[in-house]
Amino acid sequence: MTRKQITIGCGAIILILLPPAALLSGNPYLISLTSRIIIYALAAASLDLLLGYGAMISLGHAAFVGVGAYTIAILHFHSAGAEPLFSWPFLFAGSNNALLTLPLATLSASFAALIIGGLSLRTTGMHFIMITLAFAQMLYYFFISLEKYGGDDGLSLATRNSLVGLNLGNSSHFYYLCLAALFVFLILAHRLVNSRFGLVVRGAGNNDRRIKGLGIHSYRYKLVTFVIAGGSAGLAGALLANQTEFVSPGLMHWTLSGELMVMVLLGGLGTLFGPVLGATVFLALETTLAMYTEHWMIYMGPFLVLTVIFAKRGLFGFLAGDKGKNG
């Protein structure tokens, strides 16, 4: 076994055993904290597909988290209220069934990614960063303007979604749903980056002119990656809405995009598993430091700078060695 496999294996075992351990040791709050970490890890790992593999520096990833979260909230809003979501071509009263809402949230975020990516990917470099940021801010202000769905104040959910066989109100059950989503994503993404498709995307990320010189139309490959990453971020948003039972436009704010980016850099760019570690360290530090000071970013900042300077492939590279890359 390589160092990398041991690192990943240990991480998986810790995550799987955490809920019973937390309950036995009398720290049940750890379960909801770790659920949050897992959800952010999913969003950060999906961003890593863009940053670390396709070299698409998107500063608007939170937009897809927000779209996913709002899909859950709006479906819930209509299922709870009297008014149906739409009545044509068929009557749809909204839904609270996770089997329907989670895929719908993923789909709507993918669709948003298709539109935003389709336009943004015509640019590169600084322009791409700015245009993704601009789109995310547009969505942010759009949802602020939606008075019906709470506008600036956001929207509360009365309950979490329901899922056959599980009680998502139970923190352990919900935890395992999140963990399953993360595992499935990591497995699929790992296959993806090592496939022929992934090879083309990595090539385009490394030297886009050269890939075009080889006769490959890289735009389509990058767009598909963008859609996959956006959809996965939407799933993370859907889980987040369920966890907090509350959504607000703040989910789409660029500061969340920035935080996701910090998690990716902290954990290790282009490592897939690194962002999971990055999200863990980021949120754990935030939670602990925030107990002592409101200005916890003062300590987080230098930590990030030191990590980026000294750990070549982030914290994951530090643990897993040089072979850390490519999932």
For residues 37 and 23, give the distance between their C-alpha atoms in angstroms, rounded to a whole number. 18
CA distance 189 to 204: 17
Per-residue string for binding with other proteins, 173-202, x by CB under 8 A?
------------------xx-xxxxxxx-x
Q: Is 68 in the site for other proteins (CB under 8 A)?
A: no
Total number of residues that touch other proteins (CB under 8 A): 22
Question: Closest Cα to residue 266, out of 284, 254, 253?
Answer: 284
Say whether residue 295 binds other proteins (CB under 8 A): no
Shortest distance in whole angstroms from residue 200 CB to other proteins: 5
Tokens coding 76:
């819930």
Nearer to other proteins, 237 or 270 (CB): 270
Q: How far is the CB of 178 from other proteins (least distance, A)?
A: 24
3-state secondary structure of 97: strand
User: Quick one: how far is CA 176 from the chain centroid?
Assistant: 17
Helix axes 62-80, 98-120, angle to 10 degrees: 140
Q: Quick one: which H or E segment has residue 4?
A: helix 3-24
CB of 225 to other proteins, least distance (A): 10
Instruction: In angstroms, give the least distance from the CB of 312 to other proteins.
Output: 12
Of 202-221, which residues contact other proteins (CB under 8 A)? 202-203, 205-207, 210-211, 213-216, 221
Give least dist CB 280 to other proteins, A. 26
Indicate the residue among 187 and 305 with the shorter CB distance to other proteins. 187
- The least distance separating other proteins from the CB of residue 316, rounded to whole angstroms, comes to 17
Q: Residue 263 and residue 274: Cα distance in Å, rounded?
A: 8
**Alpha-carbon distances, residue 147 vs 114, 142, 153, 243, 249 (angstroms):** 26, 10, 9, 23, 12
- 262/271 Cα distance (integer angstroms): 14
Q: Applying CB under 8 A, which residues contact other proteins? A: 191-192, 194-200, 202-203, 205-207, 210-211, 213-216, 221, 224
